[in-house]
Amino acid sequence: QKEVEQNSGPLSVPEGAIASLNCTYSDRGSQSFFWYRQYSGKSPELIMFIYSNGDKEDGRFTAQLNKASQYVSLLIRDSQPSDSATYLCAVRRSYKYIFGTGTRLKVLA
């Protein structure tokens, strides 16, 4: 079992819809959780991080964390074609970062 699991996709959503990206992790010692976006051929860029149970909103993005279920998600409201990318979930454990394999999102115009 991978320590951080994501569905590889592609997840296809129409423009203007809500995209929901999910991530599960296995180590309960994980301390903080990050969502990165990676366009094809580019380096990852941070979208947001979360470390407390509940929701955290930043513009069109909402991260949700449920430590009991070991689950973190990212919601993208009003999805745009420019949101088409691979979304990487990462967890921080001690001083290390563990990344999932990413979910490819396609927003259809």
Partner 1 sequence: EAQVTQNPRYLITVTGKKLTVTCSQNMNHEYMSWYRQDPGLGLRQIYYSMNVEVTDKGDVPEGYKVSRKEKRNFPLILESPSPNQTSLYFCASSLNSGQYNEQFFGPGTRLTVL
Contact residues for partner 1 (CB under 8 A)? Answer: 31-32, 34, 42-46, 49, 51, 88, 90, 92, 95-102
d(CA 101, CA 109): 26
Name the residue type at position 72: V
Radius of gyration of the chain (CA): 13
The CB-of-84 to partner 1 minimum distance in angstroms stands at 18
Q: Name residue 46's amino acid.
A: L
Closest CA to 6 of 33, 42, 46: 33
Q: CB 76 → partner 1: shortest distance, Å? A: 19
Q: How far is the CB of 3 from partner 1 (least distance, A)?
A: 9
> Are 8 and 88 spatial neighbours (Cβ–Cβ below 8 Å)?
no
